Structures are given as C-alpha cells and as structure tokens.
Amino acid sequence: MRKFGLICVLALIISMFAGSAAVMASPDTYIVKSGDCLWSISNSTGVSINTIKQLNGLSSELLQIGQVLVLGSDAAPVVQAPAAYSSSQYVICLGDSLWSIAGKYGTTVDNLKALNGLTSDALFAGDTLIVSGTLPSTTVSRSGNSATGSRVIAKAAEYLGTPYRYGGSGPGGFDCSGFTSYIFSQFSISLNRTAAGQYGNGIAVSKDNLIPGDLVFFSCYSSSINHVGVYAGNGQFIHSSSPSGGGVIYSSLNSGYYANEYVGARRIIR
C-alpha cells in the first residue's frame, strides 16, 4: 500500500512538471525585419503563408517592422510591437509593382507615389512603402532640403541604360561621379565632382550599415578611389559603369568584381 502511494506521488510530481514545462515552453515566433514579407518568412521557416495569416489573424499581407508573428499552432497570442510610423506600411517583395500593391490596399498608383515621394514606378525589394495615412517626417540633407534614400534611388533609376560618357554629367551621358553628382543635384545637394572628391562628402558608414542613398566607392585597377555609385538596397548599387558595361546599370556590391574593389561608403542624406 505504501509502495502504491509512493508511485501515485511520483506520478503527480511528473504530471506537475510536465504541465509546468508546457506553460514555460516559449511559442515559435518571428520578429519582422526590414526586407521581410510573408513569402520570405514562409520560405525560411517552413510555415505556409496561409498558416501564418491564420495564426496571426492577418487579413492581408501587410507587415510592419518589429511585428511579432506566431508560427506555432499552440502558441499563445503575443503583444505586437508598435509600428515604426503612424501610417500603414508594406514591405516590398520581389515581383511587386505599384499597380499590384495599389490593388491590394484599395488605393491608386498616383496616391502611393504621392505618399512616398516617388517620381517613377521603380520599386526595390526590402524597402518599406507607405500605403495609407500621413507621411513620416522626411530626412534632412546637409543642404537643408528634404530628401530620402528611396527618392534618390527612384530618380537614379530613371536613367537606367543612359550611356557612359567620359566627363559626362548630364542626362545625355554620365561618367560615374558625373552620374552621382547629377542625381543628388536634383535634390539641391552639391557633391564634389570626382569620385575621390566625393569620398570627402558626407560621413563614413560601414558596409554592414548601408542604407539606400549612401554613396559606395571603389578602387578599380588602381590604388586610389576612382569609381562611385549609389547603394540601392539588397546588396545592389546603381552606377554609370563603363562604355562596355552598359552605362547606367545595377551591379552587385557583395559578389564579383566590385566586391573585391570596394573601398568604403559615405552617407550624404542624414
């Protein structure tokens, strides 16, 4: 009888520990970062988009940086982090267009462009697009005029395919520093004319902390800085490459030729 009682006590203790462990077990969660979208989160976690939406009560694919997503079916609800802005935002994914995003949120392309200060239809995966509400405060440049990285990149993208021209600094043709000088001049920001000179503009920023609109510099076939472009996000930069390279193009910052020739970066908009 005593042995039976001891077994019952042990069973009760094990049951209590099991229950306690179940309570303490932390649910599978994911904190939304810049550049995330439901497709990328689903791809990296193995949880389907529909399951993520159901678990988190999402009626659309709208995500906000800092938002906490539940990924496990038995997870308790979590308190969501506050939005970065007072307006609704959408993190751009590969394949998105202004037209498709406008359709998702019941707005117009013109309205999206007005909210985000866009002058073209160019979008970049990982950027955050305001889809409703009021604009966040703009970033102030050194010249005192309003400018943002997304606006600079959108303006630069308007000249994709423009031929390379040595000494060129106008829409008919650019060399590398002529291109960056021209783009920033559209926002009343004055840069030095040469790539080496522009390395003295702005403030230094590490490669790990690059944001769209930063200038990136290279030493191509030389020991000195002789090439410059504008970082566009997701490891890409836009620049006037060379006569044989196609003029104004996007290139990878983290692989191939330019990864080896990279020197540093400067932040102009702050």
Distance (Å, rounded) from C-alpha 206 to C-alpha 225?
17
227 is annotated as an active-site residue:
yes
Active-site annotation holder among 8, 37, 93, 176: 176
Burial pattern 238-257, b for ≥16 Cβ within 10 A else e, equals bbbbeeeebbbbbbebeeee
- The CA-based angle 223-224-228, given to 5 degrees, is 125
Active-site annotation holder among 8, 37, 93, 239: 239
Q: Which residues are catalytic?
A: 176, 227, 239
